[in-house]
């Protein structure tokens, strides 16, 4: 009669963490590369001024004019005619949170004043002009 040997299986209770470390390092590299790209907003070189800083609420309406003269409401690009036609409706429910105008230092003064005139015509009485703090040597 053939004798069957019973093999005992031993359990391996160790966890192999090398693959987990590889995945963690890969995710770290991905986050390091993509984090600078995640910063939102319109690229505007703000003028420098010696002004008292204000606390900007997170829910205010931000209007930006970039160096090419393009107008952005929050991050939506508009032409001047689209801005003039739609600003009253956009600002109607967000005026109480604040309206902020960010104008690039290189954009002509006339463009910023036209945007400000549209804001005033829409009934926005208090517009915050956003600047960079002036650095003193």
Which three-class secondary structure state does DSSP give residue 129?
strand
Torsion of CA 110, 111, 115, 117, to 10 degrees: 20
Q: Which domains does the chain have, with CATH numbers?
A: 48-133 (3.30.420.270)
Computed over its alpha carbons, how large is the radius of gyration of the chain?
Answer: 28
Cα four-point dihedral sign 49, 55, 61, 66: positive
Q: How confident is the model at residue 114 (pLDDT cuts 50, 70, 90)?
A: very high
Average pLDDT score over residue span 100-104 = 87
Q: How confident is the model at residue 55 (pLDDT cuts 50, 70, 90)?
A: low
pTM beyond 0.95: the answer is no
Mean pLDDT of the chain: 81
């Amino acid at each position: 009669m053939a004798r069957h040997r019973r093999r005992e299986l031993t359990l391996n209770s160790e966890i192999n963490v090398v693959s987990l470390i590889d995945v963690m390092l890969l995710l770290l590299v991905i986050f390091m590369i993509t984090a600078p790209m995640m910063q939102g907003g319109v690229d505007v070189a703000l003028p420098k001024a010696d002004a008292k800083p204000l606390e900007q609420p997170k829910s205010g309406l931000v209007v930006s004019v970039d160096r090419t003269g393009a107008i952005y409401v929050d991050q939506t690009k508009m032409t001047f005619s689209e801005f003039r036609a739609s600003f009253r409706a956009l600002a109607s429910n967000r005026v109480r949170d604040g309206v902020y105008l960010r104008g690039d230092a290189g954009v002509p003064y006339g463009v910023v004043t036209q945007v400000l005139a549209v804001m005033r015509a829409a009934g926005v009485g208090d517009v915050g002009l956003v600047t960079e703090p002036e650095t003193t040597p």
